[in-house]
Amino acid sequence: DAKTTQPNSMESNEEEPVHLPCNHSTISGTDYIHWYRQLPSQGPEYVIHGLTSNVNNRMASLAIAEDRKSSTLILHRATLRDAAVYYCILNLLYNNNDMRFGAGTRLTVKP
């Protein structure tokens, strides 16, 4: 079963970097690693995804371990608006792009 493991919660101070870890030891070669975040009463919002190489976009960076069994979402300067539940998910390419969400990491940002 394509499962990810994340800490239940993390705290950060405003304007400091945040590193959100994720373990996915059962990942297969064709599974993409996706990160989404969800604010209360809203649908999940895409953050970033990757396959093998590290990725950067305007929202965050994704660092993928060489063996692909873990990854880290990096928010370079946390803001209060980054407080959300962050989900690390495997997108199962050859299973109808099935995405299996866990409970995610609740990020609290302190001013």
Partner 1 sequence: DTGVSQDPRHKITKRGQNVTFRCDPISEHNRLYWYRQTLGQGPEFLTYFQNEAQLEKSRLLSDRFSAERPKGSFSTLEIQRTEQGDSAMYLCASSSGLAGVEQFFGPGTRLTVL
Residue 93 binds to partner 1 (criterion: CB under 8 A): yes
Neighbours of 14 (CB within 10 A): 13
State the Cα–Cα distance between residues 61 and 47, nearest whole angstrom. Answer: 9
The interface region with partner 1, picked from 12-20, 37-45, 59-67, 72-80 by CB under 8 A, is 37-45
The interface region with partner 1, picked from 12-20, 21-29, 35-43, 58-66 by CB under 8 A, is 35-43
Residue 108 binds to partner 1 (criterion: CB under 8 A): no
State the Cα–Cα distance between residues 66 and 34, nearest whole angstrom. Answer: 16
Residue 7 binds to partner 1 (criterion: CB under 8 A): no
The full DSSP string for 35-66 is: EEEE-TTS--EEEEEESSS-EE-SS-EEEE-T
- Give the interface with partner 1 as residue ranges (CB under 8 A): 32, 34, 36, 42-46, 49, 51, 85, 87, 91, 93, 96-104
